[in-house]
Amino acid sequence: MCDNKFVRERLYEDYAQSFTVSDLLFEVKTEHQHLEIFETPFLGRVMLLDGVVQTTEKDEFIYHEMMVHVPMFTHPNPKRVLIIGGGDGGILREVLRHEGVEHVTQVEIDQSVIDMCKEYFPKHSDGAYDNPKATIVIADGKDFMASCTDKFDVIISDSTDPIGPGEVLFTSDFYADEKKCLNEGGIMVAQNGVPFMQGDEVTNTYQRLSKLYNEASFYIMPVPTYAGGFMTLAWATDDESLRQQSVEQIQARYDSAGFATRYYNPEVHVASYALPNYIRVLMTK
Ligand code: AG3
């Protein structure tokens, strides 16, 4: 929604964030969703899908680093990675910084999101789509998962909110199909909303994942343009010892990876497992 030079995000009925824009760079109604890309003075370029902020140049690093490096430095040796969604390429970029990764499959429903983000957000993918380790599949994540016979060490679901095309990626059926494609000791993480605003998502996901995995939980990060405080990332694995690793163990892997990060570090990693009580109480069976 664009009035004067303000764009207002309309995700919630009673609360909204808005920001000034200098230009509407691109807009299209794709087969799946309404895609808009704005130039803004404060946030850099901003992409909205169906009126909801998906990514901004200014704060994407927090989300992409935390979505990727928490599972990737927790797993002792992740070689095969699956990304569901993530068309802007930020997740793929961060995954490929891990040199031990042999192969990444990314399943995105909307080719236009990939094409437009390559053009308008080149630093998000930063060449990752040309990396020979990456295979991009244009398909509905749900259909892909239901027929997938491959196995992965880490699965990252970088979806929209559970409204519209993203909804199926939060269902018990989808989670069960996903589990079948995880190697032993594998980890799945997923974007799970802002619990101060979208508390039901924590309860629903917790109930669905705890039926499938020995450990279903969350970790948190604050992303300024996902307004409302912490965002929760769903976390599920059968290996409960993974989350018990010390900062030193994680630090050793981070040091040997040898790349720099702007939000993520091993202390933040371990601290992100600590859940405030208003989130804990949402985790009911
Ligand atoms: N996908 C997650 C956007 C969620 C926005 N929801 C919200 N503000 N509650 C982002 C895609 C980034 N690669």
Domain ranges of the chain: 2-56, 60-282
Q: Which of 191, 196, 232 gets mutated to test ligand 1 (max ligand atoms within 8 A of its CB)?
A: 191
List pLDDT tens digits, range 2-29: 545 899 998 999 999 999 999 999 999 9
- Sign, CA torsion 209/211/213/217: positive
List pLDDT tens digits, range 222-242: 999 999 999 999 999 999 999
Query: Could you check whether 2-56 and 60-282 share the same CATH topology?
Result: no
Provide mean pLDDT across the span 104-125. Answer: 97
Sheet holding 6-8, edge to edge: 2-3, 6-8, 18-20
Q: What is the pLDDT of residue 4?
A: 59
Structural fold of domain 60-282:
Rossmann fold (3.40.50)
Residue nearest atom 9 in ligand 1 by C-alpha distance? 193
Of 110, 158, 161, 177, which is the active-site residue? 158
For the CA of 198, the nearest atom of ligand 1:
9
Q: What is the pLDDT of residue 10?
A: 87
Q: What is the mean pLDDT of the chain?
A: 97
Provide mean pLDDT across the span 56-71. Answer: 98
CATH code for the part of the protein at 2-56: 2.30.140.10
Q: Where are the beta strands (DSSP E) in 132-207?
A: 134-138, 152-158, 182-191
List pLDDT tens digits, range 244-268: 999 999 999 999 999 999 999 999 9
pLDDT at residue 212 greater than cutoff 90: yes
Q: How far apart are CA 250 and CA 265, in angstroms?
A: 9
pTM (2 d.p.): 0.97
CA of 39 to the centre of ligand 1 (A): 18
